[in-house]
Structure 1
Amino acid sequence: MHQHLPRSATRAIALGLAAAVALGLTACGPDIGSASSTNADSNLLQLPAEKSPSGEITIWDRSGDLYGVFDEAIADFNKKYPDVVVHHEAVDIDAKLQNTLITGTDVPDGVFLDDAKIAGFSDYLLDLTDVLAPYSKQIAPQKLDVNSVGGGIYGVPFDSNPGLLYYNAAALEAAGIDATKITTYDELLEASRAYKEAVPSAAPIHLEQAGFLSQLQLEMYASQLGTSIADADGQLRLDSPEYKQILTYLDTVQKEGLGTRAEYLSPTDIAELENGNQVFYPWAIWFDFAPQQLLTQTKGDWRAMPLPAWEDGGARSGAMGGSSFAIPRDGKNSELAALFYSFLMFDEAGYSAVWGASDVYPTGLNTSIPSYLPAADPKAPLFEPVPALGDQDLWAVATKASTEIPASVPTPSWWGGAVDYLGTDLQRMLDGDLTPDEVLKQATDDIQSNLIDRQ
């Protein structure tokens, strides 16, 4: 668990860098060859026909906690497929993958990628539609959407990262506020006003100060409303009533002094969480790292609940980040890599090894949930209740929230580059320099002219 913060925090930062890389990649894909693992005249991949295939594969993962989890799961894979040798390498994927794909030299058979990278790298990846066909009806639709490009599916979905509302139950209860009654963002504002009245120094709601992460959180809010920065065809749709509603809410939080502006889990952020000034944190499931490892004074005081809805009856969660497994076209044993990933994600022995108790996570991997619905069974938890959340059954909360994430679309390759405009303008709004309408118009014009029109 101690390595999860770098993975989660740098995951968000890396998304921006990766999308910038992807912007260049989309214009210079190599010629598509007919590898032995694909159908003739196609880059569609299929699983091996043999029941007990043999061979060797090279798999790239980032170093850190998930590398350890996947590495440990290889033994479970080899119980079922003893003749497949897995060479598991910890790699700086952001630094190494681009040149590897371009040159076609020492290309891995499989690689762990943030969902936001899939669209930009798709020219270099195999279409996994056939591989996923037996499972696709039981995969969270949002995860298939973000991995789809031009009718193909280019990632084996790993995790769902549902947005949740983390709250300091002890501090709120002391102020006479029952957070569990909050069902809409208007009610969250009312609860925050009441808390600030009881605790004058408080700025109860987290407002992200980093440009990239604030844009990622903005997309979580937009996901709840069934929209995103671009549509299925990559056309910009930022200037919309949905985004205006979100920005108006954030502007209200700032203007009324209801928000703590800080970068995610920075020293300032942690201090305001510990002293009871910041008691509401709308974020992806992986915020639970904080009460488990960083919040020594308030550990055990925090709980998680579904996000508020934007309107009565609306979705109570949205997607914030996520990762998948991709298979490069130029790998030597692509079929076996697909078999490995299919085992990890869709075989009960595999996903139990990933999310269940391990040497890395003795009580289970509780910073994400599976995107494969049979694995995300609310009645069959793969990780245990979280002591730092007062022994709350986070599995039940998160799996239910994941079912409320609306359908999505592929992330455009220019998404990371948009941070220079949308992420920056959002921060300027919180500084009081721009209105929500000005953010929407200015960011739309800049993204269209500087990113989309130049592709």
Structure 2
Amino acid sequence: MNSNPKQRALRLAALGTIAVTALALTACGPDITAGTGDDAASDRLQAPGAEQPEGEITIWDRSGDLFEVFDDVIDDFNEKYPGIKVNHEAVDINAKLQNTLITGTDVPDGVFLDDAMIGGFADHLWDLTDVLDPYVGDIAPQKIDATSVGGGIYGVPYDLNPGLLYYNATALEAAGVDATAIETYDDLLDAARAYQEKKPEAHPIHLEQSAFLGQLQLEMYASQLGTSIADAEGELRLDSPEYEQILTFLDTVRSEGLGTRAEYLTPTDIAELENGNQVFYPWAIWFDFAPQQLLPETSGDWRAMELPAWEEGGARSGAMGGSSFVLPKDGENSELAWLFYEFLMYDEAGFSAVWGVNDIYPTGLNTSIPAYLPAADPTKPLFDPIEALGGQDLWEVATTAGAQIPSGTSIPSWWSSAVDYLGNDIQKMLDGDLTPAEVISDSTDSIQTNLIDRQ
């Protein structure tokens, strides 16, 4: 159904940050110890044996436009599985899921969950290795890694959120700066310097002022380099040449006055985007919400391209946020819920209904792309070109970028708690109070002592 444009704008804003806002709530489940042998096998969900299984499932999603999208797909699902009744409930998942899993009362069969929270809940969830086996080779490797714990896969990957470089093409062209020539982060610095020469009051590159989002953006940059805050065993790896390179870049933007320091899409941020002072925004695909809804004066001036590479020939994108579907072991009909998610993500009718043109998104859902690579075919767009990006085919840009994201690792259960250390230290560096080396040293010591050693 169509909704009021202002209400849709607010819900789309929530969708744009859905992959990140909920991460601030840390799942407090017990540490995960992967099973072995028969124990591990018994934790693996199996698909129903019947060709037309029957039963009733309860699916939890967050309220909002995305809930409505998933809700509309239920009729299509029931054309394939008429014997499965879907009870679709809008729930405050972050407030309710933990206690529900601990008590084992009224446990849903399937839940929409942020990737960063899966590790903390994995001992309550089905290992989906066996049911995902026919598809796993065609799922973005980064998403498989992000949902894996101890050798098992605990989420049905939903979205891929490739990092892109958004830029004000009109303002840059007027200043004689060719943004399309940017291939590396050194090129981005040079382009920012050239723009500032023509417009001295400008601070062309966005510098994130939120500790949480700053840490998430840092991980986007790290993802490009094939690393992350911790390895597959949960060991810290901040103390590395990759993180030193990223932090040095951010510190250079700060020290040369090339950055606009603001929180993501707050009034100050929006004002500097509209007046042409801030013209480069390295962010996840879901920044496209801004020119579509929040930047009326410069809507149509913005474009997107792959992120610059850290080295010539390097990956031109990294992952920033993301969600998946999980199936609790105490759900009554989790095997039937698997069929719902299988249809939603791996059946063309399902994924086309989610990302394609529909009543909720008349031009398609364009704030993410599918994690299932056959659905993310650059030559077969699911959403339309975007008027607010000058009619650009964002689908082609985003899917090409997404295909370059290197493999990663599972996300540690303490990730969001690390914001108190790493996220805050990044902000101290942007204040000029810490060096990149001090950020690495101080954050490593604090996270190890206060989070890892206390598990």
Per the normalisation by structure 1, the TM-score is: 0.96
Q: CA deviation at 1:60?
A: 0.3
Partners of 2:18 and 2:325 in 1: CA distance:
18
Counterpart among 19, 24, 44 of residue 16 in structure 1: 24
Secondary structure at the aligned position of 1:353 is classed as: helix
| Corresponding residue of 2:185 | 185
1:153-207 deviations in Å (ceiling 9; x for gaps): 0000001000000000000000001101100000000000000110111000000
Match in the other structure for 2:217: 217
Q: Indicate the residue corresponding to 1:396 in structure 2.
A: 396
Partner of 1:35: none
Q: Give me the whole-angstrom Cα distance separating, in 2, the residues matched to 1:56 and 1:127.
A: 21
Any residues of structure 2 matched to 1:4-403 within 5 Å, and which?
4-9=12-17, 11-17=19-25, 20=26, 22=27, 24-27=28-31, 42-403=42-403
Q: Is the 8 A contact 2:16 2:367 kept in 1?
A: no
Separation in 2 of the partners of 1:392 and 1:251?
A: 32
Within 2, Cα distance between the matches of 1:14 and 1:354? 21
For 1:152 and 1:28, the matched residues in 2 are separated by 11
* TM-fit CA distance, 1:46: 1.4
Letter aligned with residue 311 of structure 2: E
- Counterpart-to-counterpart distance in 1, 2:411 and 2:131: 22
Paired residues, number: 444
Amino acid of the residue matched to residue 297 of structure 1? Answer: E
Percent identity of paired positions between Structure 1 and Structure 2: 72
2-side partners of 1:140 and 1:42: how far apart?
26
- Structure 2: give runs of 5+ residues left out of the alignment: 1-7
CA distance in 1, matches of 2:32, 2:393: 47
Q: Is the 8 A contact 1:230 1:238 kept in 2?
A: yes
Describe the shift of the 1:363–1:40 C-alpha distance in structure 2 as closer, same or farther (beyond 3 A): same
* Structure 1 counterpart SS, 2:44: coil
CA RMSD of aligned residues (A): 1.4
3-state DSSP of counterpart to 1:417: helix
SS class of match (1:374): helix
Q: 6-15 or 419-428: which moved more?
A: 6-15
Deviation at 1:54, TM superposition (A): 1.1
- The CA deviation at 1:41 is 6.5
- Answer yes or no: is the 8 Å Cα contact 2:32–2:122 preserved in 1: no
Match of 2:3 in 1: none
CA contact (8 A) 2:32 2:120 kept: no
Distance 1:39 1:343 in 2: 29
Please say if residues 169 and 301 of structure 1, whose CA atoms lie closer than 8 Å, have aligned partners that are also in contact: yes
* Partner Cα distance (1:405, 1:443) in 2: 26
Which residue in the other structure is 1:415 paired with?
415
Deviation track 1:78-97 (CA, whole Å, cap 9, x = no partner) reads: 11111111100000000000
**What displacement does 1:27 show?**
4.0
SS at match of 1:216: helix
Any conservation in 2 of the 1:196–1:203 contact (CA below 8 Å)? yes
Aligned to 2:344, the other structure's residue is in SS state helix
In structure 2, C-alpha distance between the alignment counterparts of 1:139 and 1:69, rounded to whole Å: 22
8 Å contact kept, 1:141–1:407:
yes
Instruction: Measure the CA separation in 2 of the matches of 1:39 and 1:53.
Output: 27
* Structure 2 counterpart of 1:25, one-letter code: G
Query: Per the alignment, in what secondary structure is the counterpart of residue 303 of structure 1?
Result: strand
Q: Which amino acid in the other structure matches residue 442 of structure 1?
A: D
What secondary structure does 1:25 align onto?
coil
Match for 2:366: what amino acid?
N
Question: SS of 1:214's equivalent?
Answer: helix
Contact kept? 2:291, 2:388, Cα under 8 Å: yes
Report if the CA contact (8 A) 1:301-1:388 is conserved. Answer: yes
Distance 1:10 1:384 in 2: 22
CA positional deviation for 1:236: 0.4
- SS of 2:337's partner is helix
Name the SS for the 2:434 alignment partner: coil
Q: Deviations over 1:318-343 (max 9, x none)?
A: 00001100000100000110000000
Q: Which amino acid aligns with 2:24?
A: G
Question: What amino acid is aligned across from residue 68 of structure 1 in structure 2?
Answer: E
The one-character-per-residue Cα deviations of 1:88-126 (angstroms, maximum 9, x if unpaired) are 000000000010000000000000001111111101100
Aligned equivalents of 1:173, 1:152: Cα separation in 2: 50
Conserved in 2, the CA contact under 8 Å of 1:224 and 1:406? yes
SS at match of 1:270: helix
CA distance in 1, matches of 2:423, 2:44: 36
Query: 8 Å contact 1:39–1:45 — kept in the other structure?
Result: no
How high is the TM-score relative to the length of structure 2? 0.96
Residues 203 and 328 of structure 1: CA distance in aligned 2, closer, same or farther (over 3 Å): same
* Misfit runs of 4+, over 3 Å: 38-41
Q: Which runs of 5+ in 1 are unaligned?
A: 33-37
